A and B are shown apart, each in its own frame.
Chain A
Amino acid sequence: MSGGQADALPVHFGVGDKVRVRVAHPPGHLRTPWYIRGQRGAVERICGAFANPEELAYNRPGLPRQPLYRIRFRQTDLWPDYAGPKTDTVEVEIYQHWLEPDEAAP
């Protein structure tokens, strides 16, 4: 499940790390929702490594497996007019190749 196995990429981020979701619009089968691209969040947990669905969708093996993270976002960061308290959050599963370190994070 976790990284380190021969067909899985090494895990780049740890729990609590600040990350930013890449802004990209490649064609094909993507599991990164539009509303979360370019957004900043933090790693909530590492779910293991999974074959890349963008490859699987085209009947390719999707290897090496991509580490999958759950990223926690603040609702008020996602939607400037969010109608609810600042403490509300969204958690989304994001594959590692969609994540980059958030250099701007404090």
Chain B
Amino acid sequence: MSGTHHHDHDHGHDHPHAHPTAPDADDLMGYYQLMEVAVRELLIEKGVFTGEDIRRQIERMDGANAGRGGLLVARAWTDPAFKARALADGSAACREIGLEVGALKLIVVENTPSLHNLIVCTLCSCYPRPLLGLPPDWYKSRAYRSRAVREPRAVLAEFGTVIPDDVEVRVHDSTADMRYLVLPRRPDGTDGWSEEKLAELATRDSMVGVALAASP
């Protein structure tokens, strides 16, 4: 800081020097942020929706988390007929077990001893939000989005997931209307486990495909 202290009280340690502070992120409104605020305020003014509607929607979106995807995985691990239905129509399978997914068109892709699936959206950040919550920052990063299709094995290794060469790595680029969820392999040593317990092993990252399901 400038070091110009105009105050005349004792410059003791109860009053530390002012250090430069990081600017608040919301001090810096760009063109599109301003436009969003303007459009939102107009729509509220016109009675299209209320501020409460928006707050509730944000709360709902922030509240979704990977625990919901875990329920789907755990059911698929324990019920082969359900798994077959989930692989045929992911959205219908979600509704069958009471997971409301709205307009989500879900494709479930299954990891097997010879196949490992990885999800990316190279164009933006498409992600099965009703099942996994908001995407992590790395999922939206340019590095992940470009490298996941270019060198998926290197990306996986950086996540600590080394896939042997005799296992196919299949990358799913969610470029359009479908969303993807990886059905990881059920960990060994979980025979007889309840669905509730199994669901905890189906971590977010395992359902994106950057990791395997957690070990018991």
Contact = CB atoms under 8 A, between A and B. Distances in A.
Contacts of A94: 175-176
Q: Tell me the dominant secondary structure on chain A's binding face.
A: mixed
B170 A68 contact: no
Given A35-B149, A50-B177, A88 B170 contact: yes
Interface stretch (B28-36, B150-158, B198-206): B150-158
Contact of A35 (B122, B152, B170, B176): B122
Contacts of A15: none
Interface in B166-199: 166, 168-178
B165 interface: yes
A18 to B, nearest CB: 18
Interface residues of A, number: 27
Contact of B171 (A83, A91, A93, A95): A91
| Range class of the B interface residue count | 20 to 34
B168 A85 contact: yes
Contact of A68 (B123, B150, B169, B176): B176
A105 to B, nearest CB: 21
Contacts of B154: 83
A63 interface: no
Interface of A: 31-33, 35-36, 47-48, 50, 53, 68, 70, 75, 78-79, 82-85, 87-95
Given A88-B171, A89-B170, 12 more contacts: A33-B173, A48-B177, A84-B153, A84-B165, A85-B165, A90-B170, A90-B171, A90-B173, A91-B170, A92-B173, A93-B175, A95-B176
A-B residue pairs, 6 tightest by C-beta: A93-B176, A87-B168, A92-B173, A90-B171, A88-B169, A50-B177
Interface of B: 105, 107, 122-123, 149-154, 165-166, 168-178
